[in-house]
Amino acid sequence: MSESGANNTARSKAAVVTGASSGIGEATVRALRADGWRVFAVARRADRLEKLAADTGAVACPADISDDGDIAALLEGVTEAGGIDTLVNIAGGARGSDRVADAVTEDWDWMYQVNVLGTMKITRAFLPMLRDCGEGTVLNLTSTAGLAAYEGGAGYNAAKFAQHAMTGALRLEEAENNIRVIEVAPGLVRTPEFALNRLGDQEAADKVYAGVEKPLTSEDVADVVKYAVSLPHHVNLDHITIRPVAQASNYKLIRKA
């Protein structure tokens, strides 16, 4: 086997997954590992990653994707471990639900740094590796908030619209390098932290899901992510929107008493 062939074999079904310390990111690590993938689990909270690694056999890679030094160290470590053929960008989040007139600059800045610049930085770092492997994949988890604006969502809308646009541009730019670019845009997903981190209060977070029969779970989304990246490489699910049946659109959500 040639050196290039050996490298491709080592990278086959090998992924970096960001946002891996909780929610959809953690569920994606578990789903891929259960399917035989080698997974580098990336997040800031090292203690959670170590537990995830112990549970699943994933490689814990504590890093802040908005920090250039952390990304450089991550790239070096993954390269030394044999490389990857798939990058799964799950890290992101929302802060606040203020209208534009009451916007908190720090919240907007955080959302842009994590959802947009963080995704850009880690993707930029790993693109040469993904090009070199011959059949690379980038999957970006965006949101239905990046498809339709809503009152009180402007900051998150802006960040996710930008991430959605960046994903589309990346697909156009990297097609000639045989890189598959997938976007998964979930609607209402009940996770332990998303609404709590956004609203800062457990009671307010619980109201987001009140009366909604069967909102999506982290595992639901992780199953779709696993399916999308596991298809034969020539099959590209460009854009996947996932909502619970109770959420017919961003504007229609069925709540039962």
Residue predicted with more confidence, 194 or 210: 210
- pLDDT value for 11: 61
- Above 90 in pLDDT, residue 191? no
- Range scoring the smallest mean pLDDT among 48-57, 61-70, 118-127, 185-194: 185-194
- pLDDT value for 192: 78
- pLDDT value for 15: 98
- Above 80 in pLDDT, residue 129? yes
What distance in Å separates the CA atoms of residue 211 and residue 164, rounded to the nearest whole number?
A: 30
What distance in Å separates the CA atoms of residue 219 and residue 56, rounded to the nearest whole number?
A: 15
- pLDDT value for 205: 75
- pLDDT value for 177: 98
> How much of the chain, in percent, has pLDDT values that exceed 90?
84
The answer to whether residues 185 and 144 touch, using CB atoms and an 8 Å cutoff, is: yes
- Above 50 in pLDDT, residue 1? no
- Above 60 in pLDDT, residue 235? yes
CA distances from 236 to 35, 144, 145, 240 (A): 20, 20, 22, 10
> How much of the chain, in percent, has pLDDT values that exceed 70?
95
- Above 80 in pLDDT, residue 176? yes
- Range scoring the smallest mean pLDDT among 165-169, 215-219, 225-229: 215-219
* pLDDT tens string 137-151: 999 999 999 999 999
How many CB atoms are closer than 10 A to CB 129?
Answer: 19
150 is catalytic: no
Q: Which residues is 60 bridged to in the sheet?
A: 41
- Above 70 in pLDDT, residue 2? no
CATH class of 3-186+216-241: alpha beta
Residues 6+ apart with CB under 8 A from 76: none
How many CB atoms are closer than 10 A to CB 219?
Answer: 14
Residues 6+ apart with CB under 8 A from 226: 28, 31, 32, 35
Average pLDDT, rounded, for the chain: 92
- Above 80 in pLDDT, residue 3? no
- Above 50 in pLDDT, residue 216? yes
- Above 60 in pLDDT, residue 10? no
Catalytic residue (one of 112, 150, 156, 209): 156
pLDDT band at residue 199 using 50, 70 and 90 as cut-offs: confident
Q: Average pLDDT in the 161-190 region? A: 97
